[in-house]
Amino acid sequence: MYTFEHPLQEARIVEKKNRFLFVIAIHGQEVLCHIPATTRIGGYRFEGAPCLVSYHATVTRKSAYTCEAIWFDGQYVGINQSLMNDVVHYYLQQGQFRDMIDYQILKREVVLHHSRIDFCLDETYLEVKMPLVVLQLESTYPKQKQAAFDGVDRLLKQLHDLKQALLDGKKVILLTCFVYDAIGFVPGLTSKRKQEVYELYVELLALGLQLWQATFSIDAIGIRLMTVKNVHIPLLV
């Protein structure tokens, strides 16, 4: 199991202050808590939701707490997108992705044309995605009105660079990670530019792009890899 440096603490979300901060209740106090996600989380409102938080003494951030997971009707859902590559790296080194790829040399944060790709394993590029804009589960949390997510410029740039890698004879894997027991695996993109992204994915699939998905569970101690399998539909952003 990927183990946290210190066990996570239980708290409760009071409100969302802005895109990057929750107010949480913990140890009888209300304090700020960092949201470690670059996208919104399912379009839900989380007032009153139980959560798991990590604590890091700091003088450079507004909050020493980071929200690692939110309770969703029977399970915690991990939301720390910045941690996902470390988790995948750990399980790669443990040999838990050998059904997906066997390798000798592992490099992280590799420059490919105009993009940075998460991993290069021998001659194979591996890009990790952790979708949160659309969550593949049922929830009783109230939804909030919001415009379609349109932050796909970085994704499109990456896909064009990965397309060139495929044309150059390299192998490319897209690994989509869910830190919860997702009930279904369907395309999760809500962008107005969905068709543009989808058509580019079709091109990459025709050139040999491999799509894999991994599910994990999270608790106060760590993150456990549950399943790894090859899929045939694009799971985005």
Ranges for all domains in the chain classified under CATH 3.40.1350.60: 81-231
- The answer to whether the Cα torsion of 189, 192, 194, 196 is positive or negative is negative
Pairing of strands 124-129, 210-218: unpaired
Ranges for all domains in the chain classified under CATH 2.40.50.580: 2-78
Q: Does domain 2-78 have CATH number 2.40.50.580?
A: yes
**Residues 100-126: tens digit of each pLDDT:** 999 999 999 999 999 999 999 999 999
Cα distance between residue 154 and residue 38, in whole Å: 12
Based on its alpha-carbon atoms, the radius of gyration of the chain, rounded to whole angstroms, reads 18
Asked if pLDDT for residue 18 goes beyond 60, the answer is: yes
**Residues 88-97: tens digit of each pLDDT:** 999 999 999 9
Asked whether the beta carbons of 171 and 208 are under 8 A apart, the reply is yes
Asked if pLDDT for residue 50 goes beyond 90, the answer is: yes
Quickly tell me which residue has 């470390």 as its tokens. Answer: 86
* Segment holding 177, helix H or strand E: strand 171-178
Domain 81-231 top-level CATH class: alpha beta
End-to-end CA distance of the chain: 26
What's at 84, amino acid-wise?
A: M
- Bridge partners of residue 111, in order along the sequence: 116
Percentage helix, strand, coil, to 5, in the chain? 20, 40, 45
**Residues 147-161: tens digit of each pLDDT:** 665 567 888 899 999
**Residues 180-227: tens digit of each pLDDT:** 998 655 555 555 677 788 889 889 999 999 999 999 999 999 999 999
Cα distance between residue 75 and residue 216, in whole Å: 11
- Whole-number Cα distances in Å, 202 to 111, 176, 198, 209: 24, 17, 6, 9
Cα distance between residue 96 and residue 225, in whole Å: 8
**Mean pLDDT score of the chain, rounded to an integer?**
90
The tokens for 191 are: 């962008």
Cα distance between residue 173 and residue 170, in whole Å: 10
Please, what is the Cα angle at 33 between 9 and 35, to 5 degrees? Answer: 105
